[in-house]
Structure 1
Amino acid sequence: MQLQSESNPALNTVTAYGHDYIEINEVSYGHAVYFGPEGDINTWQVKVVGDITADALRAVAGLGDVKADPMAFLDGGAPQKPADAPEVLLIGTGLRQHLLPAHVTRPLLEIGIGIEAMSTQAAARTYNILMSEGRRVIAALLPLEEAA
């Protein structure tokens, strides 16, 4: 299904998706990917929803190995979100929506990064809208057939 007839070449835009591919900027990918409005389209090493871990989400958000500050409790307890962190991660779980377990999403939610899991089709459309509004959003999308 084609999503947009034209796209801004300066921004990563989901231009289509189908049973076994996701198309970003009119380039087709036959595997899971993650990306933001600017920068590279990255291969996501997740094959099915059950492979999604807190570490996988942390990597998608660009947080790497952020260590908790053992003295953070003195400043109110909650870890701080890095200034360049995304506002929200959109997780496309394939043909159907699959909710992620709380222990997977909690580490990012605790630092103020929203996580929304939805079908890949809905995530692609939502990403395009948020990206066009200038929001700091990252999409991690499983192709429709891989997410079963």
Structure 2
Amino acid sequence: MELRTESNPAFNTVTAFGRDYIEINEVPYGHAVYFGPTGEIKPWAVQTVADISASLLRDVAGLGAVTTDPLAFLDADAAEQKPADAPEVILIGTGLKQHFLPPHVTQSLLALGIGVESMSTQAAARTYNILMSEGRHVIAALLPYEDATL
């Protein structure tokens, strides 16, 4: 399906998708990818929705691994803080159908105030384009249709 509208070439825009590809800025990708409005389109090491883990979502958000201090409970404000450059929301395109992610996968991002929404790849692509065009700091992590089966 083609998603053609007038777009700013400076921003990453989903321009089409199909059974086995996702097209960003008119460049097709035959594997899962993640990206924001600007910067690199990165391969995502996910073959199926079941492969999505909390650590992979933290990588997508640009947060890296959680470091736990065994004495952190002694400090009142030891809780991890949301970085200033963190995304507002991460849209997960789960392929042809919507598949919800388990709470333990999304919990650490939600605790920081980063939204995580899972939907079909088609819906995620449209939603990403809309939010990106509004100037929102959104990240899309999309699986092509064939790779998204459970």
TM range (shorter): over 0.9
Alpha-carbon distance between aligned partners in 1 of 2:82 and 2:74, rounded to the nearest angstrom: 12
Aligned to 1:3: 3
Identity, % of aligned positions: 71
Aligned to 2:120: 119
Q: Are residues 5 and 115 of structure 1, via their aligned partners in 2, closer, same or farther at CA, if it must alter by over 3 Å?
A: same
Give the TM-score taking structure 2 as reference length.
Answer: 0.93
Per-residue CA distance 1:74-129 (angstroms, 9 max, x = gap): 13x64210000000000000000000000000010001100000000000000000
Structure 2 counterpart of 1:45, one-letter code? A
Separation in structure 2 between the aligned mates of residue 72 and residue 80 of structure 1, nearest angstrom: 16
Aligned residues: CA RMSD: 1.4
Of 61-70 and 116-125, the range deviating more from structure 2: 61-70
Q: CA deviation at 1:7?
A: 2.2
| Residues 102 and 119 of structure 1, relative CA distance in 2, 3 Å threshold | same
Q: Give the AA of the match of 1:137.
A: V
Q: Aligned residue for 1:109? A: 110
Is contact 1:81–1:111 with CA below 8 Å preserved after alignment?
A: yes
- Determine the structure 2 residue equivalent to 1:19: 19
Q: Distance in 2 between matches of 1:139 and 1:147?
A: 15
Provide the C-alpha distance between the structure 1 equivalents of 2:74 and 2:106, rounded to a whole number of angstroms.
Answer: 20
Q: One-letter code of the match for 2:76?
A: L
Tell me what 2:89 maps to.
Answer: 88
Residue aligning to 1:47 = 47
1:6 Cα deviation after fit? 3.1
What is the distance in 2 between the residues matched to 1:142 and 1:61?
16
